[in-house]
Amino acid sequence: MKLSFRWYGRGNDPISLDYIKQIPGMEEIVWALHEKQAGELWTEAEIKDEISYIESKGLKATIVESVNVHEDIKLGLPTRDKYIEIYCECLRNLAKNGVKVVCYNFMPIFDWTRTDMFHPLADGSTALFFDRAQIQGSDPQELVDNVAKESHGLTLPGWEPERLARIKDLFKAYEGFTDDKLRDNFKYFMDAIIPTCEEYDIKMAIHPDDPPFSIFGLPRLVNNKTNIDKLLKANPSKYNGLTFCTGSLGSDPKNDLVQMIDNYQERIHFMHVRNVRVDSNGDFSEVSHRSQDGTVDITGIMAKLQSIGFDGYLRPDHGRHVFGENATNTRPGYGLYDRAMGAMYLMGSWDMAARLQK
Ligand code: CS2
Ligand code: MN
């Protein structure tokens, strides 16, 4: 298992690599060229520059999250071939510089969605929160405005202002779109890029839909066993793999995460490990990584990963905002302290599972 930590880049992330390096066992930085829009080329010079900065701090840079997929590819528009060619060029440029895995998602319009970024928890910290009733009764534009307000200029992944400016047109474009239609477009994309992935040995790891159910009537592809089975079958290469995000999939209590990890083991290239507490009405709150604090069996997941000899990348996912982190100094979900504590909880579970196995 390679322990990793997401970082948003120089001048864009308030947390320094020097701090991240001090987390015990930390090996890899999960990075991206965050200023790039979906469909833009990542040049070799830009890639080399970012990787050499990360390496100068004694950390590795062999995993990227995310190279975003242009909406025309998801929609299956005639312009998709042009964007697929650029995507392949990005993959070649990344692979030539040592990148082994690319995390991405195939969610229409929105990346992850929450209704509240700084929801108070009983311990005095705050965390991301999803209120089902609020989403059902709301206009997507309200959600967009709310996210912009609460993120205080720290651009959130998947919520880039350029993309959200087109929200009304995008909703129109997805009118009547079914899960099957989105899956066909996914297959077209995969079939087109997998030969490049295989030739250059760079694996794709799709992130689950978050939340793992439809919102605003938009289709879903990566939210439960039935759909993940279809997705992996759509192109059977192991380069068509998964980012297994326990917080996203765990927001639907029907998903048996330990069982799913067992099923998909060869196809899981990246683990996002995070806990959520799902309420009886389906609302959910992010919580600390500790098993007892939420409804996700974190220690069971770590024990399963240990028993299958998982050797992919793993990172603590979102954390709570603690120790003075708040809306003015922290990107929602991406503070330093709770993710660092999470990393240690995960490492502790991992090491103990190894020891008990002997
Ligand atoms: C991430 C996602 O912050 C998060 O919730 O897990 O934004 C993830 O990076 C993307 O969905 C992957 O493209
Ligand atoms: Mn995740």
Strand order in the sheet with 284-286: 116-120, 126-130, 284-286, 276-278
| Cα–Cα distance, 47 to 202 (Å, whole number) | 15
Q: Which atom of ligand 1 is nearest to the CA of 333?
A: 3
Tell me the average pLDDT of the chain. Answer: 95
Nearest CA to ligand 1 atom 8: 207
Nearest CA to ligand 1 atom 4: 112
Stretch among 8-17, 85-94, 157-166, 334-343 having the lowest mean pLDDT? 157-166
116-120 and 126-130 strand pairing: antiparallel
Q: Is 157 in the pocket of ligand 1 (CB under 6 A)?
A: yes
**pLDDT tens profile 242-261:** 999 999 999 999 999 999 99
CA-closest candidate to residue 58, choices 23, 99, 108, 94? 23
Whether the predicted pLDDT of 354 surpasses 80: yes
Range of the domain at 231: 2-357
Whether the predicted pLDDT of 153 surpasses 80: no
| 11-32 average pLDDT score | 98
| Cα–Cα distance, 330 to 324 (Å, whole number) | 9
If you measure from the C-alpha of residue 210 to the centroid of ligand 1, how many angstroms do you get, rounded to a whole number?
A: 8
| 48-54 average pLDDT score | 98
Would you state the structure tokens that stand for residue 292, as one six-digit string?
């007892």
Domain count within the chain? 1
| 202-219 average pLDDT score | 96
Q: Any idea what the CATH number is for the domain that residue 163 is in?
A: 3.20.20.150
What CA–CA distances, in Å, run from 307 to 50, 198, 300, 350, 356? 35, 28, 10, 10, 10
